[in-house]
């Protein structure tokens, strides 16, 4: 029995350096994390060759994780600092009816035009991401199961994660169940370095990420934050030497890159920090699956750093935390060249600092407005107290501006706005969204998107009829209430210049599709 395609398998290489325990022997037998390089080459029977980096997992253990993308026989050979080892494995097709889209269709990559996501087999995808940034060092497996089940049910398919606690001056017990406690990924991060790795931390994170993937949630892996961080206590991202930052990026690719993943090598900074190109180039060199890599910026920064870099796939702005709709920022980024995918990676967090800020349908309007303005990679949501993984409503030690009053992570999980953002992916599922583009010329429709000859999509906050001025807009239409995903009207316009009818008075999403793209329910 072979391994199904796109499923992670693990090879264990045990002939590593003679080190003991879970941490590196920095003062004695060397540091295998920094001093030993190991990788494995995989060759398919057709000649396809893929290279995966290995990672040190404590003691004398090195691991290589691989997800075969093709059915058939694969030979593998290790190389690097350890004695060569080799073997063979067989990959088989996914089970019929496989529910996880990343096993049925493959990992995400960029679309042919570079504007949106697709699975490896070309199936279109729209990012619908949440921002539980602090989950890796604060959450327990039991909590993550509650979180992941909620987000999957609401339609989310990705989660933005700071992979390690980034504040150099943060203090607290090394216990994620105690107030102000947190797990520690590197013992020397407080000194601005990433050399003394805590293997136990990453073994714990393995379980958390496995739960997310089990619930069809892609981890968006951010190495070390560059902006506010967890509590705003001097983040290490801009301080860590670029060579150490790059090494850690390679470690993340090795440990988690045989699962669905995105890589966010810059976060909440200017985008020009030297760690970012070092990390981006390292991910690009070692990720054999081509999973997307990008940058997330702080507010009020021009979001086009390294626009022409080969390793860069997407650019994410953030529009700040003041409760303002600024979709024009996304529209400006969409025009940047060379083409990179765009999203608003951080709209205002719901109930952040003040009860009632950016709540409810504010989040739905923000998501659809950004998508139609050019943020065609997808949409992102955030909630106060959830992103910090505040243990309970009374936990102290967090910046009041960013926490939701009277809420811990569990209460914030139920904020209403998350329903509307997750709904975006449900409404667009199965539609030909690949490389859709903003469209201002075919109709008087406010914010609209189109795919030539196949789809026209428009969003209006208050609904109403849409006047059409182009014969290429498909005659078939369906009108959806974006608050709950219900289809409120289905029909066929008699002629190309007939309006798309709607009575108005409520938010509406209008979807016009060519005959070949109609859902079976509309036929």
Q: Is the pLDDT of residue 23 over 50?
A: no
First to last CA, the chain: 41
Q: Give the pLDDT confidence score for residue 246 in this predicted structure.
A: 98
204 and 155 in a single domain? The answer is yes
Whether the per-residue pLDDT at 84 is higher than 70: the answer is: yes
> Which neighbouring-strand residues pair with 497?
none
Contact yes or no for 37/251 (Cβ under 8 A): no
Domain boundary among 428, 461, 490: 428
- pLDDT at residue 21 greater than cutoff 60: no
Q: Where are the beta strands (DSSP E) in 206-301?
A: 218-222, 262-269, 293-297
Q: Do residues 486 and 385 share a domain?
A: no
CA 459 to chain centre: 24
pLDDT for position 30: 86
pLDDT confidence bin for 337, thresholds 50/70/90: very high
Q: What is the pLDDT of residues 387-430, one digit of tens each?
A: 999 999 999 999 999 999 999 999 999 999 999 999 999 999 99
In a domain, 103, yes or no: no
Find out whether 455 and 512 touch, Cβ atoms under 8 Å: yes
Least confident stretch, 17-21, 215-219, 328-332:
17-21
Q: Are residues 375 and 260 in the same domain?
A: yes
Confidence (pTM): 0.96
Label residue 86 exposed, middle or buried (CB < 10 Å: 0-12, 13-18, 19+): exposed
Quick check: is 82 in a domain?
yes
Separation of alpha carbons 191 and 231, rounded Å? 17
Is the Cα dihedral 209, 213, 217, 218 positive or negative?
A: positive
CATH value at residue 77: 2.60.40.10
Q: Which domain holds residue 148?
A: 109-428
Examine the fold and report which residue of 369, 401, 428 is the final residue of a domain before the chain moves on. 428
Same domain as 166, residue 34: no
Nearest alpha-carbon partner for 108 in 281, 294, 339: 294
Is residue 307 situated within a structural domain?
yes
Q: Residue 60 is encoded by which pair of tokens?
A: 């004398």
Structural domains in the chain (count): 3
Q: Are 33 and 197 in contact (CB under 8 A)?
A: yes
- Pair 235, 145 in one domain: yes
Whether 16 and 133 share a structural domain: no
pLDDT of 461: 96
In-domain check, residue 104 = no
Distance of alpha carbon 126 from alpha carbon 435, whole angstroms: 11
* Same domain assignment for residues 202 and 310: yes
Span 239-290, pLDDT tens digits: 999 999 999 999 999 999 999 999 999 999 999 999 999 999 999 999 999 9
Residues 318 and 172 occupy one common structural domain: yes
Per the structure block, which two tokens stand in for 184?
């520690």
């Amino acid at each position: 029995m072979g391994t199904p395609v796109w499923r992670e398998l693990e090879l264990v290489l045990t002939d590593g350096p003679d080190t003991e325990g879970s941490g590196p022997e920095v003062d004695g037998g060397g540091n295998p994390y920094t001093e030993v390089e190991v990788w494995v080459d995989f060759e398919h029977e057709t000649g396809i060759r893929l290279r995966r980096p290995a990672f040190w997992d404590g003691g004398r253990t090195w691991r290589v994780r691989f997800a075969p993308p093709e059915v058939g026989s694969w030979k593998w050979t290790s190389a690097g600092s350890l004695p060569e080892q080799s073997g063979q494995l067989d990959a088989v097709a996914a089970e019929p009816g496989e529910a996880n889209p990343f096993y049925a269709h493959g990992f995400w990559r960029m679309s042919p035009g570079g504007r949106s996501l697709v699975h490896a087999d070309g199936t279109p995808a729209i990012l619908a991401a949440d921002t539980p940034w602090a989950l890796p060092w604060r959450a327990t497996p039991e909590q993550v199961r509650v979180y992941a089940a909620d987000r999957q049910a609401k339609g989310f398919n990705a989660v933005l994660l700071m992979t390690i606690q980034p504040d150099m001056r943060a203090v607290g017990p090394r216990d994620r169940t105690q107030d102000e406690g947190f797990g520690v990924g590197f013992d020397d991060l407080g000194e601005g370095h990433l050399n003394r790795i805590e293997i136990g931390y990453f073994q714990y994170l393995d379980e958390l990420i496995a739960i997310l993937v089990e619930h069809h949630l892609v981890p968006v892996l951010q190495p070390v934050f560059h902006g506010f961080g967890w509590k705003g206590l001097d983040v290490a991202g801009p301080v860590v030497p670029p060579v150490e930052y790059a090494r850690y990026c390679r470690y993340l690719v090795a440990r988690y890159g045989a699962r669905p993943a995105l890589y966010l090598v810059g976060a909440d900074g200017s985008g020009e920090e030297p760690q970012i190109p070092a990390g981006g180039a390292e991910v690009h060199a070692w990720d054999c699956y081509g999973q997307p890599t990008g940058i997330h910026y702080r507010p009020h920064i021009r979001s086009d750093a390294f626009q022409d870099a080969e390793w860069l796939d997407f650019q994410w702005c953030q529009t700040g935390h003041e409760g303002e709709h600024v979709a024009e920022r996304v529209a400006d980024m969409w025009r940047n060249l060379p083409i990179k995918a765009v999203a608003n990676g951080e709209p205002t967090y719901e109930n952040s600092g003040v009860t009632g800020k950016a709540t409810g349908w504010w989040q739905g309007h923000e998501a659809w407005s950004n998508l139609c303005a050019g943020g065609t990679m997808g949409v992102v949501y955030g909630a106060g107290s959830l992103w910090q993984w505040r243990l309970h409503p009374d936990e102290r030690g967090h910046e009041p501006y960013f926490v939701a009053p009277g809420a811990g992570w569990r209460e914030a999980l139920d904020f209403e706005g998350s329903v509307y953002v997750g709904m975006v992916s449900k409404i667009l599922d199965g539609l030909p969204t690949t490389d859709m583009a903003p469209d201002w010329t075919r109709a008087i429709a406010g914010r609209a998107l189109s795919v030539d000859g196949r789809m026209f999509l428009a969003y209006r906050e208050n609904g109403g009829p849409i006047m059409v001025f182009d014969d290429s807009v498909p005659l078939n239409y369906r009108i959806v209430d974006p608050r709950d995903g219900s289809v409120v009207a289905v029909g066929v316009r008699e002629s190309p210049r007939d309006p798309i009818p709607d009575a108005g008075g409520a938010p509406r999403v209008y979807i016009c599709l060519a005959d070949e793209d109609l859902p079976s329910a509309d036929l």
